[in-house]
Every structure is written in C-alpha cells, then in structure tokens.
Amino acid sequence: MQQNNSRLTGGCQCGAVRFRADRLGRPSICHCRMCQKAFGSFFGPLVTSYGVSWTRGAPKYFQSSNKVRRGFCGDCGTPLTYEVEGDDSIELAIGAFDDPMVAAPEIQVNTKDKLSFFDGLTELPVRTQYSPKWVAFMAELESHQHPDHDTTVWPPAEGFPS
C-alpha cells in the first residue's frame, strides 16, 4: 500500500498529541470487546502504521492486557494506539488521522465479539428533516476541536476556528 506520507498525520481531539507515520499497512475494524471498550464504540478502527513519530506531546498508556497497551490523549481521552509488545509497528486509530480516508478499512477481525445489531446499522432510517430548534442549535455551535492539520501553536488562546 503506497501513500503520500504528507497526508499521514493526525492527532487527538484537543491537539495536545499529534503524530506522523511514514507508511501504512492494512486498515481494519476490530470487533473484540477490548476494542469496543477502548473506543467506547461498536468496534475499533485501526491501521498498521510504520515509522510513527509524535510531533506534539505523547500519548498516555493503559495496559489493556498482558501483551497490549493502548495509547490515548491524557487531556481529552481520544484513543490513539494499539501496541503489541515487541512489534515494530503501531496500530493507529483511523479516526485520529487528519484525513481518515487514507485508511479505509479492508478487513474485519475478531468477529466472534461482533455486536448482533452491527450488520443492520446501514438499514436504519436516516433523518433528513430537522426541527427549527435543532437547526438554530447547530448554527450557533462553535467547535473547540483541533483542526485537521498541524498547527504551530498549542494550546490556542481562544480555541480553534471551525
């Protein structure tokens, strides 16, 4: 898999931790219960990454098993890594990339723990009309999330522009 490594950057929601990878391996979604808990979601979206460097800050870690530790931002809690002891690669969270499209999942793993409703999610109804109250709420919403690119200053004086 060949990527433009200038696009292989990312970080946490608040911007305290930023990374760059030299190249990516196979992207996957993991259905194991540990990934569900670590991501607070139905699965863990991860991509094998090589030549990872932390360009701002560094993750804190939780030893989730006897062989795996998981990195996350100590300030905002964003899940960032899945690291197997002794492995030369790091699994990075796909959603933490500035452009998550660089790592569209190619395989599902650990499906014995897949939640029974998962395969039917795309069949759920889609809301296309919103109440005036919701539209007004969204119009006034100001994101304080770090932008999807590297910045020279962190933390920002008054939050990042949306």
- pLDDT reported for residue 1: 45
- pLDDT reported for residue 157: 66
Is the pLDDT score of 162 beyond 70?
A: no
Is the pLDDT score of 54 beyond 90?
A: yes
Tokens read off for 46: 């991860």
In angstroms, rounded to a whole number, what is the distance separating the alpha carbons of residues 86 and 74?
A: 24
Domain locations in the chain? 5-116
In angstroms, rounded to a whole number, what is the distance separating the alpha carbons of residues 146 and 160?
A: 6
pLDDT confidence tier of residue 117, bands split at 50, 70 and 90: very high
CB atoms within 10 A of CB 105: 16
Q: How confident is the model over 129-139, as pLDDT tens digits?
A: 999 999 999 99
- pLDDT reported for residue 143: 84
Q: What is the CATH number of domain 5-116?
A: 2.170.150.70
User: What are the residues whose beta carbons fall under 8 Å from the beta carbon of 48, sequence distance 6 or more?
Assistant: 24, 25, 26, 27, 89, 90, 91
More confident residue, 33 or 5: 33
